[in-house]
Chains A and B, each alone.
Chain A
Amino acid sequence: MLMDILINGLVAGGVYSVLAVGFSLIFGVAKLLNMAHTAFYMITAFLILYATTVLSIPLPLALLGSIIITTIIGIISYKLLLDRIKQHETAVMIISVALAMLCQEILLLIFGGHYRGVPPFVGGFMDIFGSRVSYQHLFAIVTSALILAGLWLLLSKTRLGNAIRAVSQDRVAANLMGINVGRIFMVVMAISVSLAGLAGAVVAPIYLVSPHMWQQPLTIVLAAVVLGGLGSIGGCVAGALILGYTESIVTFLVPGGAFLSGAVSLSIMVLVLLIRPEGLFGVVFEEERL
């Protein structure tokens, strides 16, 4: 039981943190509230489903191909839609909701509304302290950790990472220093969408795949981002892990917990925000005082 909670919490937390980091990245850098973020995660899951079960393409190729296709879709939708109306923040939000709705309906049309499963990438399981842990779950945990570590290296050690952080701190100054801000936005959008794609690839064999699978993670991701503090990558990961663990603890220990898990996670977020309005690791800027 304890081991189940630990492993499931870690899987959920890992996936949520990969999603939340991607969402927070594009919001922090380009100030785009991209509600279609988890729709990209859904697209990857469906592409993997299609590639492995219908086209029977070898797995590594299917994974790579799906993530690349999702990223291309993301870049196209950024260039065609979001980029043009960047100044109108609520319009951006509504366009991305409409985009997510469009993805959902197109997938419903092609695949139908029922739940499907993707065959596991790695079979088998191992015993850890008397409970069965499948390799697929371990794979998901390790992959999420590797993705986060890779992103951290990219942001803190490379020239591109420096440029991204510069743009997120002060767009005008970064532009004056000779950074091509428009291109950085596009690169960040590509990174963000490919992170969503990676998360989708990780969960495809664990969770059920359906055209409505973008809605539940969206609320949790938004909550995790705010809980950790906007603009802080470490905060996002912490927020996502807290919410992932809450979800698994409530589901396992409380009767009727499957209905309540979302409500409890969200209540935790509200409580934290009431005590610390800037989130756990958020930074208070001078002009945001009051």
Chain B
Amino acid sequence: MSLFYLWYGRFKGGILAIPGRVIALCFFICLFSVPLFTQDPYWLRILTLTTVFALFAASWDVLSGFTGQLNLGHALFFGVAAYTAALLNTHLAMPPWFTIPCGAFTAVVVGLIAGLPALRLRGFYLGLVTLTFPLILAGLLFVFPEFTGGELGISGINKLSSSRVGSYYIVTVVFTISIFIMWKFTDAKSKVFRTGVVLHAIREDEITARVSGISTTRYKLLAFGMSGFFAGIAGGLYVHFLRIAAPSTLDLFFSFQAILWTIFGGVCTIYGPVVGVFILVPLTEMMACTEWGGQLRFIVIALLLILTLLFMPEGITVWVLDKLEVKCPRCKVVNVFTRKKCRACRAVLRIEEE
């Protein structure tokens, strides 16, 4: 009984008292209970794709948001994993549970190779070099059409699971676990990993980080590998869900989309890209079904992006959380905006104006 109270107390203090975490909890509960309410293939398909893209965008955030290594060619990891999984599946008839990790590990290897220039280049230069890798690879794909399928890509890949709901749950569970790992990995306050603090330090001031005795090279490569791994998992899931690996997974615009979603949601938070994807992707898909949406949807999305960034340049989640949460000036504990006094130290949070 006392154990129950202990856990309940932790739950209440750690999650229920912080608005952002309550929202996150509700979000995951909703995500897992969707198939209980609707089994409409159209909705399940949209949600599965959205989840895959959310994982992809979040992995960009680990590398570029937290570590500050601007990667403009994130589609490289996604595309490499997608093609590896597709080739293993069609040529060697490997099952999805084997091809997806294989694809992810290939993406890690590629991520480390791509990370090598990162040791020498910074900022815009690094962004430009990483931008080119997927384009070079896409050029090579077109030159060897009999092996890679060329313009049409590779089709006839096994399904993730025999039922739609099964695929949905596989994708959501993998997504939830990956997001949790990424969140812990980049959390600066984490008591288990010290990577979060180190990555923040590298972004803020690399020279100071080195002077403090941190091997920035090693941590940058670690960030490249981590980011590549999760983007690779997203790529593998995508390929086994849509059952086609097309050159569009290496497209320039696909790389930009990861950045677009992340900046829209809020950079340097793991939840930001997830929120961005879960707003923008279903919206685009829903507009595609309306009469006018077929032609106008990208105009609407572009206008939405421009207006959002104009008024909330740090992203939508940062803006919303800023309204919902108040940090206590004395003990730095996060409080709901409705409280007048801090829940931990009773300090007055804001002075009432007469």
Contact = CB atoms under 8 A, between A and B. Distances in A.
| Binding between chains A and B | yes
B132 interface: yes
B120 interface: yes
Contact of B309 (A33, A91, A108): A91
Given A94-B260, A94-B263, A226 B125 contact: yes
Contacts of A108: 295
B302 A90 contact: no
Interface stretch (A4-12, A42-50, A121-129, A256-264): A256-264
A256 B313 contact: no
Contacts of B345: none
Contacts of A230: 124-125
Interface in A88-122: 88, 90-91, 93-95, 97-99, 101-102, 104-106, 108-109
Contact of B253 (A109, A215, A226): A215
A95 B301 CA distance: 12
A84 B131 contact: no
Contacts of A283: none
Interface residues of B, number: 43
A47 B154 CA distance: 40
B139 A90 contact: no
B256 A97 contact: yes
Contact of A270 (B117, B139, B142, B306): B117
A74 to B, nearest CB: 15
Contacts of A259: 139, 142-143
Closest 4 CB pairs of A and B: A263-B139, A266-B132, A259-B142, A102-B302
Interface of A: 33, 81, 84-85, 87-88, 90-91, 93-95, 97-99, 101-102, 104-106, 108-109, 215, 218-219, 222-223, 226, 230, 256, 259-260, 262-264, 266-267, 269-270, 273-274, 277-279, 288, 290
29 contacts: A85-B309, A90-B267, A93-B259, A94-B259, A94-B260, A94-B309, A95-B305, A98-B260, A98-B306, A98-B309, A101-B298, A105-B299, A106-B299, A108-B295, A215-B252, A219-B132, A259-B143, A260-B143, A263-B136, A263-B138, A266-B132, A266-B136, A267-B132, A267-B136, A269-B129, A270-B133, A270-B136, A273-B121, A290-B122
